Structure 1
Amino acid sequence: MILISGATGGIGGEVCRIFKETGTPFRALCRKREQVADFRENGSDAVLGDFDQPETLSSAMQGVETLFLITPPTQAQVAQETAAIDAAKQAGVGRIVKISASDSNVRSPVPWAKSHALIDHHLRASGIDWTILKPTAFMQNFLWFKDAVAKGFLPQVTGSGSVSWVDTRDVARVAAAVLTESGHEGATYFLTGPETLEMKEAAARLSKAIGHRVRYFDLPSPMFWAILRLTGNSRWMSKGLVVQFSDVVAGHHDIDPTFEIERLTGKRPHSFTDFIQDHLQAFSR
């Protein structure tokens, strides 16, 4: 049995959708009873479990052979995921496939990059077979700025830096493949989109697709932080994103395309143009 954490989120939810479509048995890990009920009504197995309450994980992991581990970036991420790894080991789970980050580093000023590095080290030392997926920044993050794009501008702090943006749907396809195949034990895969893009080029692609000019505004960090706060991000998240984009990206530290997605799934990843077309209504006026 494969246990899917983050089953109601973007990547975990897409993995569940793929497994449902292909008839692959899985169990969705949910924090709320109504989520469990929704999965069961749709004919899928689901169980209650909360990473903030590790004692609830042991029963959820009974009979599980493989765990898909993903949590949102929060200040509790290290505690949550290390507790899940420990619970998995105690329950006899044989393998964990974890979503990490391409820029993970224990000395990173980006909080979740440091968190992922610490968790990765804990997983590799756990004695459980592991596979670590390290995606770059998600194309879906552009949806934070959909209202601004609709008004004709794209705010960022990346200067002339570029990113090999990746679509979360492609990350989920890799996860689904790795979860159901052997031979990935002890592997770390860096996942990117098919190209690197500066913000000026991203704005040009948006302009062409939605039919009006979108200008890239390279903002001062405090102004970008304020926009992130206005779009619903926490203080902690906003501060981390400013550091990530103004340091890692603007400093040209992002990685080039790896083409691992095509190699692992046999299908090319979505381009940024594909992503825009699939979310055209969100970006349009």
Structure 2
Amino acid sequence: MAGWTNAVAAFDKAFAAAIASSNVTALSEFKARFWMQLINNPGDIASIATTSLATTVQYGPQYNYLFKPTSNSAIISNSTINANSATFGLTFLDAICNGIFLPAFTSPNATNTQLLEALQDLTTAYLTSVGAESANDGSIASLNTVNITDRTLSNNWFLWDWQFCNEFGYFQVSQNLSDSTQIHTYTNWTVYSQFITVDYYSWLCETQGLSTNGLPNVTYTLKSYNGLNITTPRIMWVNGDLDPWHWLSNYNTAPNPTTQALILYKNATHCNDIWVYPNL
């Protein structure tokens, strides 16, 4: 984890310096290192580059592949990741933490330059895995945040994005390092980039056309569904104590203790970690 947060710190500082320089060439060259010349918003760039580890840990590291098993080795050859992973597959967690594919993340002696290069290699490997062939591949532009035009029920991403924009709390942002009340950092930095802020989150929701102002929609949601004060019987509140979303749930006291149950899994994150047994 120290290697990862140090890499994120190196990314943030280099990215901020490129932006602050007002040097168009310097900023373009930095974005090109990560194959993101076609991505416009700094928050989108930072999200693509720095959310992979935290998202992997939260959603099930054994299932989140950077390259799936039996994938075409030719696809992987465009990245610096070892092409031998084509047969056996390569999870995000292994790519970052096994010390073989991207050793800078686990080396206590890695320099900022080496960490930034490792993060660069991970990012370009990811873009390769989703079909990009080079830094100039036009398909990468599809990763820009844009207005969501397909609002049918069959578009799962629309439904998910509508939820996190209107319930305001499901989208994870990075804590502000200048806020002395925020103490949960590792090696004095955050797991997500400092460019992933509440302001970026608000911009994302507005750009997608899902929220012109988050607060009224939050009020509507709470009024319609009664927030966390649901007293309906036979509800089970299931959370993982390491899941950052458990703070948004009833994890300590149920609204209706006589007819509702609480389960807080120790050392658990999200999704696969908190599936309950069918007989419950």
TM-score, with normalisation over the residues of structure 2? 0.25
Query: Which has the bigger relative contact order, CA under 8 A and spacing at least 6?
Result: 2
Rg larger for: 2
Greater fraction strand: 1
